[in-house]
A and B are shown apart, each in its own frame.
Chain A
Amino acid sequence: MRNNSILVVSVAALTILSTVGIVYAQEEVVNRSALAWGLFYKMMTAAFIVGAIVQGTLVYIIFKFKEKKVKARAEISSSR
């Protein structure tokens, strides 16, 4: 639980900081396509990082835990 609150707080802080940054940089009328695409690239960066972690884990699991590699542990069973 403590880990969570640290995370939430730090992300919130980052958000506020970047928001404040944008507000003070704001003098002209916003350029809508620049804003939308800027946001899009930000989202893509986040998505690709998270995606790399998720897909990477999955690929790791596929190779690490395939049947041939773990013959020795035949006692595992799925019954709950």
Chain B
Amino acid sequence: MVELVISMGSHVIYEWIYVGVVVSILIWVGAEAWYGEKLLHEVPKDHITIKVVGQQWFWTFEHPDGKREVGTLHLKAGKVYKFEVTGKDVIHAFNIPHFAVMIDAVPGRINTIWVKIPEDAVGEYLIQCREYCGLLHYNMRANLIVEA
């Protein structure tokens, strides 16, 4: 170790300053990320739970009142939703790109993720599978319809 330090020579102080800068930037990145994730982690109190099941190669959704939908999901603008996501056969991933919702649908597990649909978000959005799941993975899509 002593050998190592000596072999680095005297001008190496610049390198340590540089490493200090890099480390500081990374600490900042980590802190920002940690804080953002924390905000997204805690599910708000008033939420509506939707059960989501992925299987080769379609999505099934179940509303709290027991109503089921296949391939289409109707949600209300301005409400907070919690998705309980699981897979039936192989691993899929439940993804709504527009709302940055993304979580794996794993057989034998229930993963949760929540989102608040903004008031002004009325419209149609893409739901897709984002984990490779075989033949028709490319086409494992569903429709999200946000109503007023």
Contacts and interface: CB of A to CB of B under 8 A. Distances in A.
B71 interface: no
B29 A4 contact: no
Contacts of B44: 29
Contacts of A18: 32
A5 to B, nearest CB: 8
B6 interface: no
A15 B100 contact: no
Q: Which of A7, A26, A50 has the most CB of B within 10 A?
A: A7
B36 A39 contact: yes
A39 B36 CA distance: 8
A33 B95 CA distance: 12
Q: Which of A7, A15, A29, A39 has the most CB of B within 10 A?
A: A29
B24 A7 contact: yes
B35 A19 contact: yes
Given A11-B27, A12-B27, A15-B27, A35 B21 contact: no
Interface string A5-48: 00110011011001100100010011111011101001100100
Nearest to A14: B28
A79 interface: no
Interface residues of B, number: 27
A78 interface: no
Interface string B41-75: 00010000000000000000000000000000000
A13 B31 CA distance: 11
B25 A31 contact: no
Contacts of B100: 32-33, 36-37
Given A19-B35, A31-B118, 9 more contacts: A4-B20, A7-B21, A11-B27, A30-B116, A32-B101, A32-B114, A32-B116, A35-B40, A36-B36
Interface of B: 16-17, 20-21, 23-25, 27-29, 31-33, 35-36, 39-40, 44, 80, 98-101, 114-116, 118
